[in-house]
Amino acid sequence: MSRIPQPPVNLALRDAERHDFWLGFVVVLAGLLLAFCGAQHLTSVGTVEGASASEPDLIKAFSFGGLQYASEQAPPKPPKPTGDPAADAAALAKWDQQQAGVRPPDWKVRVDIGAKTPCPT
């Protein structure tokens, strides 16, 4: 076998062999973000505290009796007296008017994350 002559290598003009850091960094960051968001996966079901429940919270609520339906909730309390009879009467009339046509939706459910009653099944 005979060797084929190669042209001389000019090191000044040759591209440096390097690894690109930013592409790998962006890919890893996107992967971590997707893993974090996938683990948290918030739902549109509200909690008793007012936040949005995550899927593990829903599992806990289903297994420990932590579901609260809107039809089971107590209506809002009337306004507290302020001492001014005219203002109190106006506030109470406004509250009565607001409560006259209010019926809680049957489909609305809230989750009590701190429920401790185990499911009977």
Q: Mean pLDDT, to the nearest integer, of 81-98? A: 86
Place of tokens 């019926």: 103
Q: So what's the pLDDT on residue 106?
A: 59
Q: Mean pLDDT, to the nearest integer, of 7-19? A: 82
pTM tops 0.75, yes or no: no
46-82 pLDDT, tens digit each: 777 777 788 888 888 878 877 777 666 666 788 888 8
The domains of the chain are located at 42-121
Q: Which of 50, 102, 104, 45 is nearest to 72 (CA)?
A: 104
